[in-house]
Structure 1
């Protein structure tokens, strides 16, 4: 009987029209009558690929959203006035694992889809075997997961709007941590895939909000859970989680400067065993283009493999050429990042170390947070010091510095930084001062450059740097 009373409510009738309910009460009657009839699975209304959806633009002072295409402006710390996310028709009767208020429902409708695609390669339009509705399905079954998603969505919204921490966001984070701790104390739920996704979301929230203490705590917790599960081998058959773990590892390491959360002694073997759905497919092979500026022989094969991967992605847009699968791109990123980390602290020359760090930065340009980059404090400072320490004394070094500064600014730097403009003026301008963008682009493509994610922002950045140098 107690269970039945949960859905029993009194309805107030209008005093002016006896027997007829008031307007607000009529809505409540309809809601109770339709309860359970319009329930939908979130995997239906949360897209797996948001690249072809219309986008809504949420402006800080706008009362109604307008609709426009995704912008191509180069994001910086002070240049995040807009949130771009897919427009969704979110049904109010979806049975989430926990009841959410209107503000939380709006976050799920506008921010969650973009958050899900933060580390994907959707904009490359590549064939994929990684499609999965698990990230939205957990919203139906796992209360702690719902709270962690609300927390990361609230943090991302404030990041994109350059807003201060609100009480609602702080409450979402506290509740998510409380729910997570409660489930970590249970042996039955502490090591589930949903719990891993829980910690991933909170780690991303700390990363986006530049909270290094929280990021370290959640990152260590994530590493501990993976170890207790038996390592990355325990995610065999779920390559999506493996990919997200590797992306979180890349971002946390670049931001903090600490070692990787999941160090790989043989990353090629791990990829072949766990990530690739077709074992007969081979990893990208080295190209034959010589690299005269890499003195350390250990760096050469990594650079050549990345160069070949970028070439294959660029060629995938041309019908005569053989396409590339999404898992091959994920595999290439995975192998490169862990091989580059294995060389950390062992490089014998400054230029080699500069190129190693630049390659790590280049990897981050292949994914973004709703068309905005994440900040990586440690790597930003590290690459700036290396660039300033390199003296561009020969004409052969100018193309190298051009690529390093372009990739560094796409991934890390603010184009208005004085040291950057001075380095551009002295080290790069003598090479390109008479050239147009398409000619400069050919220099960049001699190194590492992916047309679909670097061209538009790169051209805008090139023009911006030229304007700033002329004005200074």
Structure 2
């Protein structure tokens, strides 16, 4: 092998099968890479996600304005262009709508999972979920109008604004398109499509948000028919995000009204949910030893929830995520099973069932920035707490039962009877600091990410009551 110079350019001639010597290999590589890295700049450090006020997201429309009362609410901004309004002028939507109304929908998509799921930072949602939510705006008119009125009404409620009626045309347009679609004698696939199911689910959830329980139930019954035509609830396992929302709405309505859920048959149709295997846990308390008369099924359900909370706390601490299917399976197996159990009103089993159901609702059903109220269930739980069986419990468990109700289903209207009761139990447990209460609550089942902020607020209000007494 020889190296010659031709017109100022090195030229290599190989006449041997032997490997080139190391110096020649370096020479070749040097000239091969020459100019490859020119013009490249050093990679800059990855910028942290910009933290924005939730009210900034709302402030992109003329109808909604920034609210100082919500200044503490922060969300992570996804890379949606700040000038999204002008860019929308080149986008064709499924119907003629005011672009500013769609801009709010797009903005909301950047915080949707955080707003709807307190555990969002610990759950691995598909990266394509957001895309699947946005794309139908361009080709499904019912979906487009549904997203507009539900998003705007969500922000109106969040910012304590009186509904102005500006979303009514979009609501009625949705109903009109949906009715025409369901009555059309042509292609039946659109009647039972995933998008049609999504629209009906959104109508049910919106009615529930507006305390219109009869309408919510009506929409859910219609959704049940669509799902049955598609082969049953398990046919949606491939669309786990949609299935999660369907079951959350169904479970929430059961707690609101006291009516039986419409999809409880998922336990019998999905074998993996029938007898869930408890996750490993290192809890100091064993529910079957604490309450000897508790049934085996209730013990199993408690252990499943206990292990799930351990996994979530670990995920939050290590900044990792669990599969969304684990969230779905645990929610279904725990909450539908608890709703299906029947015990005497004044029994230990009933008190633990309701306490565990209240706790589960705060983990799986509650939204991050807007607490849902469950009128029927709240009254049922309060009535059970007032019975004599509660006083037979260890004071630490009494504390957990009351705090679970306070952070999940009880409202300000319950403070009059709840706070003095909590103060007495805190005194019997020698609780002086929030960390003292945390230690007791964490010894049962408790998710810091979900419950600590609300729990601290309850503790502070009771402590203030003690000081002023």
Normalising to structure 1: TM-score of the pair? Answer: 0.75
Residue by residue, what CA displacement relative to the aligned partner does 1:175-199 show, whole Å, maximum 9, x if unpaired? 2222222222232311000001001
Structure 1 residue matching 2:171: 3-state secondary structure: helix
Which residue is equivalent to 1:201?
202
Maintained 8 Å contact 2:122/2:320: no
Trace 1:13-162 onto structure 2 (pairs within 5 A): 54-57=52-55, 65=66, 71=72, 86=77, 88-89=80-81, 90=84, 91-92=87-88, 93-115=90-112, 118-120=115-117, 123-129=120-126, 131-132=128-129, 133-162=131-160
1:408 to 400, 405, 409: 405
Shift in Å, 1:444 = 0.8
Shift in Å, 1:123 = 3.2
Q: Flag the 1:453–1:419 CA change in 2: closer, same or farther, 3 A.
A: same
For residues 265 and 188 of structure 1, what CA distance do their matches in structure 2 show? 24
For residues 164 and 64 of structure 2, what CA distance do their matches in structure 1 show? 19
Structure 2 residue matching 1:54: 3-state secondary structure: strand
For residues 162 and 328 of structure 1, what CA distance do their matches in structure 2 show? 34
The structure with higher relative contact order (CA 8 Å, sep 6+) is 1
1:467 to 461, 464, 468: 464
Maintained 8 Å contact 2:113/2:120: no
Residue by residue, what CA displacement relative to the aligned partner does 1:193-219 show, whole Å, maximum 9, x if unpaired? 000100111111111111112111112
2:421 to 417, 420, 423: 423
For residues 203 and 227 of structure 2, what CA distance do their matches in structure 1 show? 16
Q: Flag the 1:161–1:67 CA change in 2: closer, same or farther, 3 A.
A: closer
Alignment: residue pair count: 400
For residues 162 and 323 of structure 1, what CA distance do their matches in structure 2 show? 33
For residues 382 and 452 of structure 1, what CA distance do their matches in structure 2 show? 27
Structure 2 residue matching 1:447: 3-state secondary structure: coil
Maintained 8 Å contact 1:312/1:323: no
Decide which structure has greater helix share.
2
Which residue is equivalent to 1:440?
437
CA RMSD of aligned residues (A): 3.4
Structure 1 residue runs of 5 or longer lacking an equivalent are: 1-50, 73-82, 274-281
For residues 391 and 294 of structure 1, what CA distance do their matches in structure 2 show? 13
Q: Flag the 1:163–1:471 CA change in 2: closer, same or farther, 3 A.
A: farther
Structure 2 residue runs of 5 or longer lacking an equivalent are: 1-48
Normalising to structure 2: TM-score of the pair? Answer: 0.75
Q: Flag the 1:104–1:369 CA change in 2: closer, same or farther, 3 A.
A: farther
Higher-Rg member (1/2): 2
